[in-house]
Chains A and B, each alone.
Chain A
Amino acid sequence: MARLQLPVLRPLRRVLARLGGAVFVLWAVASVTFFAVRLIPGDPAQAVLGGPGSQASAEALASVNAEYGFDQPVIVQYFAQLGRLATGDLGRSYSLNLNVGPLVLSQLGGTLLLAVLALALAWLLALALATWSTQSGRIASRVGSALEIVAAALPHFWLATSLIVVFSIWLGVLPPISTGGALGLVLPVLTLAIPLAGFLGQIMRESLLRALESPFVLSARARGESERGVRWIHALRHASLPAISLSGWAFGSLISGAVVVETIFARPGLGRTLLNAVTLRDVPVVIGVVMIVAVAYILMTLLTDAVSRLVDPRLRLS
């Protein structure tokens, strides 16, 4: 009996475990964020009252404290916040007079677009660099490796400003700030993609080299496969696996990079929302943004898992 149910149970159990893990991650993220923002100095009531340094009257302060529950002990506020989150209510921003759910969703699109485009471009650049540098001789290999190391080490703020100087001020071909059109996306996407491409490229090149030396490549060559077939069908598939599983992490890092990039390029998005909210101690917005990012991260990890299974048949067997 038990043996018969197993094939049904196994995926079910896996889904349940995943779901439980996701809920745990969301709870942990919400809790750490709540205490992190509340324990640093600064009074959230002042976010409601027009910002830090408010000289609002005693009546105004008292009514805000009562309305938002700031007069309660922090632990009570924590459980109240958690209770609201459990029902899917992200609460109301202290500073923006807006509900956090719609606010965060309205900013999600811009950041997601930036992150997805940057990830795609980073993959393209990394693939191009890895394949070129592994098949074009020793000098190409050295150059490729140097490019990857330099690119991976570039800080976003430096890269962003350099790109603006070159493409907006010097060449005058791209707008230095977001203008709503597609052209305005080019520099922000490049800023995010270049360091990531360096990082992914390093990993891809190493695993590509390792794959090219593996027995299965030797046997493919022995079977008479063309060099192109060997590289593109066998070796690259093998070599892309570590990069695929890293893409989940990369996606998270892109969202944190968005804080800098959105500020420099004056783009609306989650990163800028988060920065403003932290500065004002706007706890609901900080938690809202971090939760959304956590959900995106979880989904991305699931996706990279699925893609890995697709690319690597061994994972499907185990």
Chain B
Amino acid sequence: MPLRHPWRTRRLLATTTGIVALGLLMAGCTPADSNEPVGEPKTGGTLTYASGDAEPTCLDPHVGGNFPQALVSAQYLESLVSRDSDGQIIPWLAESWLPSDDGLTWDFTLRSDVTFTDGTVFDAVAVQANIAHLQDPATLSSTGYLALGKVTGTEAVSPTVVRFTLSEPDSALLESLSQTWLAMESPTALERSQDENCASPVGTGPFLVDSWVKQNAITLLRNDDYTSPPADAAHTGPAYLDKVIWRFIPDSASRYAALQSGEVDVIDNAQPDTIVQAKQSDSIEQLDSPRPGASNRIELNSGQAPFNDVRVREAFIRSANVDDAVSSLFQGTATRSYSALSSAESTAVSNPALFDYDPAAAVTLLDAAGWGETDADGYRVKDGVRLSVEFPVSTNQSIPAEQSVFEQIQATAKETGFEVKLAPMDLSSWYAALASNDYDAVSAPYTKVGPDVLRILYHSASIVPAPSGYFANLAQVNDPAIDELLTTAARTTDATERASLYADAQNRILEGFYILPLYDQQNHYLLRSDVVGLRTLPTVAVPTLYDTWLNR
């Protein structure tokens, strides 16, 4: 799914540099927790989680399907499979699975001891109801609907075996099903109206939705009958926490202040300045969990001038001093990426040599591409047209530090003669600008489990807009060889062969200078030191509070 954290940090609210500096001075004043060794997990207590993401408009991630929904619903919904930290698919609600030789049918054997929190039994019919719900246009699903594109039907072979029928082999099926957007909900609950199901979806998870006061908080209670942790969980049986209060604090500085003062126990979307502050504090710890799928990268629109010329694309990339910008503006909290994929993906290919900062080479490339003349302002010109790069920036998705990185790139590219026109805009305007092809460069995060995200982002079929006008191939890569590699990889279930196909595709994308990778999609959590056992699901990198307990 295209990632959006609409209300993460508003620039207006974040322009508080002086205050942050003051806060740095005072960070030493917070009382330090004792560093006692952590003992046996304690049961009980209420954990308050503060999200900087938008408050979902529906708590059922089948509807729409964005990151804010995944964050909270991972506490009460579970998927058929999960992924471990090595990238291997592991059992969850499904114990095992077996594809047919032609890859067109998959049999999933389900756990037989699981019930939803409304008492409904989890079985093959429940899985069928969920797939049908995701594929029903009335559900208005976006992420889950796309992920099931090749699934043509399901069949209950027995109460514990469900068979998926595909239109063609899908090597990404398990990765797709591991995502929280395709989690299993009670079929009884799904029969209610959409409004009801949005307010209180029912799953099999360690917590259940107790109440949701919009614009205030979601209250989750422990599921005392919980039996179905994923294979990589740290314990079995019910969760330790009695209750979770899930709040929304859009402003980064107040979110961190609330954590410092102990009003909340965990925050997400921690910004570089607060992460650096937290390092000085004894009572706050960090959890860094890059999101899966694509890296954060600038896509160069190869569908129109000036970036339809590979030499101009390379010149732009060589003229951008990204390393210095990232290290100074992210203050060591982000690592430079040279890959199209997140470092969370084991199939990621990295090629640093292609992205060296080399202004001299950039000048030579521009001369060769016919952009030899320079105008009075120092910008390159060809046939009377200035070498301009329209760069719409989503202020909802690009955090302040990232926007500053773009400004640094703008400044260094200017020395070579590029006029980078950064245009900050809100999310709706930004999507509108992309849909009308009003851009030469853009940074658009995309979260999906597994390397199949490459097909979504770089297959020529993704240049064709969705009915809403959205298209994912923003670099407008239109290369039959890449198409062929991605299509074949999506049908190849042999892991080694699949990885090699994706490696070839990535090399062609990187060598074509379609993208300028920056860093992983940042996903930092900060927590009070007495919050023990918090981890993120290695699928979509959302936290799970199942193993979490309070050492107080």
Contact = CB atoms under 8 A, between A and B. Distances in A.
B136 to A, nearest CB: 9
A133 interface: no
Contacts of B142: 49-50, 54-56
Contact of B29 (A64, A164, A170): A170
Given A55-B470, A157-B12, A42 B215 contact: no
B14 to A, nearest CB: 9
Q: Nearest 6 CB-CB pairs, A to B?
A: A50-B64, A42-B428, A41-B432, A59-B137, A176-B257, A268-B215
A281 B29 CA distance: 43
B214 interface: yes
A147 to B, nearest CB: 20
A219 interface: no
A264 B254 contact: yes
B13 A264 contact: yes
B396 interface: yes
Contacts of A60: 137-138, 140-141, 467
A117 interface: no
Interface stretch (B163-171, B242-250, B286-294, B309-317): B242-250
A260 B10 CA distance: 10
Chain B, interface size category, equals 35 or more
Contacts of A59: 137
Given A41-B432, A57-B145, A165 B22 contact: yes
Given A164-B253, A165-B257, A157 B140 contact: no
The residue in A177, A260, A269, A272 that gathers the most chain B C-beta atoms within 10 A of its C-beta is: A177
A160 to B, nearest CB: 8
A40 B195 CA distance: 29
Interface in A93-112: 95-98, 107
Interface string B239-270: 00000000111110111011011011000000
A96 B140 contact: no
Contacts of B385: none
B13 A56 contact: no
A161 interface: yes
Given A42-B431, A56-B467, 11 more contacts: A41-B432, A48-B140, A51-B6, A63-B137, A96-B57, A157-B13, A165-B19, A165-B26, A172-B261, A275-B7, A279-B6
B468 A161 contact: no
A54 B253 contact: no
Interface string A159-189: 0111011001110100111010000000000
A54 to B, nearest CB: 5
Nearest to B434: A53
Contact of B10 (A48, A54, A263, A265): A263
Contacts of A263: 7, 10, 13, 250-251
A159 B189 CA distance: 46
Contacts of A45: 468
A98 B143 CA distance: 23
23 contacts: A42-B432, A48-B140, A49-B142, A52-B4, A52-B6, A96-B57, A97-B198, A157-B13, A157-B15, A158-B19, A165-B19, A165-B26, A169-B26, A169-B257, A169-B260, A175-B263, A176-B261, A264-B13, A265-B254, A266-B249, A266-B255, A278-B426, A279-B426
B64 A276 contact: no
B216 interface: yes
B469 interface: yes
Contacts of A268: 213-216
A52 B138 contact: no
Contacts of A172: 261
Given A51-B64, A276-B54, A42 B249 contact: no
B85 interface: no
